[in-house]
A and B are shown apart, each in its own frame.
Chain A
Amino acid sequence: MAENLLEVKNLKKYFPVKAGIFKKTVAHVKAVDDISFAVKEGETLGLVGESGCGKSTTGRTILRLLEATAGEVIFEGKSVMDLDKKAMRAIRRDMQIIFQDPYASLNPRMTVADIVGEPLDIHKLAKNKKERNEKVREILENVGLGAEYMHRYPHEFSGGQRQRIGVARALAVDPKLIIADEPVSALDVSVQAQVVNLLQDLQKEYGLTYLFIAHDLSVVKHISDRVAVMYLGKIVELTDKHELYSNPKHPYTQSLLSAIPEADPKKKKNRIVLEGDVPSPVDPPSGCRFHPRCPKAFEPCSVKEPEFKEYGDGHFAACHLLDK
């Protein structure tokens, strides 16, 4: 059994909602509200959910790009939340991020060599400019970009190539964990597969651990070992991907799975169409957050919050139905 590389315990991230001339905090957006999970060394954990469920906030809070409201993040046995600025900068070598938008995530005024070389400069991983450029060339080749691109600017590349540059930048520091925040959703369909394959190849080659955040269940299922499903700031289900797809326990997971249009016209699915929209995270529903939309809700759901617990062999879920 592999060790846990990353452990997240009771993580919370609330954003204050300010109003009035004195900017008084009138409410909180509970973007991430008490979630716990662990990522094992060498695995890919998928984090899936619809927009506003808090999946991206989770990723950024783990990296302390956002400061957590409460909770713990333990990386290689060390608590990340207690580190001071300097120690935090050092540990960033081991935890990297790939962003969704390959246009916004690259500095438009830096050449590819400078973008990919920057992490080497920051962590002083190259003795001189020549060595640095040598390393940059090597990394670029590893992500499928020729060295002839080194002195070009991001705007000269297509979306897929830019995403490769983003991957190269994350790889440059030789990290252990990469948080991939919707890395393919901004790309064209035919290019998505290139990046997915690349991420898989790199994982094998470098023994990387991924936290793969996406809204697209099919992609998450393809690339992940285990999958966590988020709804309104909570993890509602977490298990092995095959188990999740063959035996989803939470009604939200079930409807999410059935909502995906499949590229097979003959398969007419028995679809569970959810009523209504996702409620606001400022004032989430009482009890189970899913109950107003849940087709199977019963009495306790609106009153008591279901506990997130294990239902046999690493299959976690939070639903009252399972205790009935």
Chain B
Amino acid sequence: MEWQEVVKRLLQNKISLLGILIILFFIIVAVFAPWIAPPRDPDDPYLIPRAGWSIEPQPPSDEYIFGTTEGQYDIFYGIVWGTRTAFRIGLIVVGISTSIGIVLGTIAAYYGGWIDEILMRITDIFMSIPFIIATIVLVTILGQGLTNVMIALITFSWMSTARLMRSQVLSVKEDEFVQAALALGANDFRIIFRHIILNTIFPVVIQASMRMGSMVITASTLSFLGVGTPEGYADWGQMISFARNWILGVEGNPLNYWYTLIIPGVAITLFCLSWNLIGDAFRDILDPKLN
């Protein structure tokens, strides 16, 4: 199936269309962030402005339509600029780790033998370390900050792609059209890029789109655990971590501070959901059994 056909089917499928619309919405928010929520300090737009110095969150008002969270950080501003953070984390982490996985998996499967053996044992070792713990430790070593969070996430998330890619390449490698290219005198570079990768990439794309959401969640988790972005940085995970002390509300009204948790929670959920919807739809479209 060609790309055009896939895109056509993605748009015809109601579920994936919903996913695409949600993502389009987030993209618009991210692109127009400086207009939607003008930064107080244009040199450091990711710093969430504070409405005051009181600790207690304030409910939505005319000035702060989503209210403010702990330390008077503006929730609306945090959500809008946090969209950019989410995309940065998702695209960079998934992009780089998927590329690493593709390269390693392809090399392992295509050349086989001891190269395969070494690469796959390394993959096994990385896989045997619990993901969250490994990233926490690495961020702690490297020090706080978005870049270090991303480095940690990349370091421990390329393995599943490598494995997937390896099994894909192993099966396509034996296909007769690859043999045919070999018989024509094609070199390894041409065989890998023109024949193998083109025929193995779709499952990896599906996996990558599913991982977009989960990477953003993990980054949020790290922020929630206090090893993520520095305080005041526009990041959905951090917004939730601000809410930590206010989840229980006040006596007699457990929902008193609902906005501190619900608003960033909805943002993260929608973001992950949309990528998963697209991934699911992708899988259905590309599953040969359903065609």
Contacts and interface: CB of A to CB of B under 8 A. Distances in A.
Contacts of A218: none
A119 B183 CA distance: 10
A173 interface: yes
Contacts of B186: 89, 118, 122
A104 B199 CA distance: 12
A65 B175 contact: no
A297 B291 CA distance: 54
Interface string B179-193: 111111111001000
A106 B182 CA distance: 13
Contact of B185 (A107, A109, A122, A169): A122
A21 to B, nearest CB: 13
Contacts, number: 66
Interface in A84-120: 88-93, 95-97, 99-101, 104-110, 118-119
Interface string A148-170: 00000100000000000010010
Nearest to B190: A122
Nearest to A106: B177
A269 interface: no
Given A92-B185, A122-B185, A153-B2, A65 B199 contact: no
Question: Interface range on chain A: under 10, 10 to 19, 20 to 34, or 35 or more?
Answer: 20 to 34
B198 interface: yes
Nearest to B182: A65
B195 A122 contact: no
A110 B194 contact: yes
A166 B180 CA distance: 9
Interface residues of B, number: 18
A50 to B, nearest CB: 21
Contacts of A169: 180, 184
A271 interface: no
A110 B191 CA distance: 13
Nearest to B174: A104
Given A109-B198, A122-B190, A153-B2, A99 B180 contact: yes
A65 B180 CA distance: 9
A68 to B, nearest CB: 15
A60 B179 CA distance: 9
Contacts of B181: 107, 118
Interface of A: 60, 63, 65, 88-93, 95-97, 99-101, 104-110, 118-119, 122-123, 153, 166, 169, 173
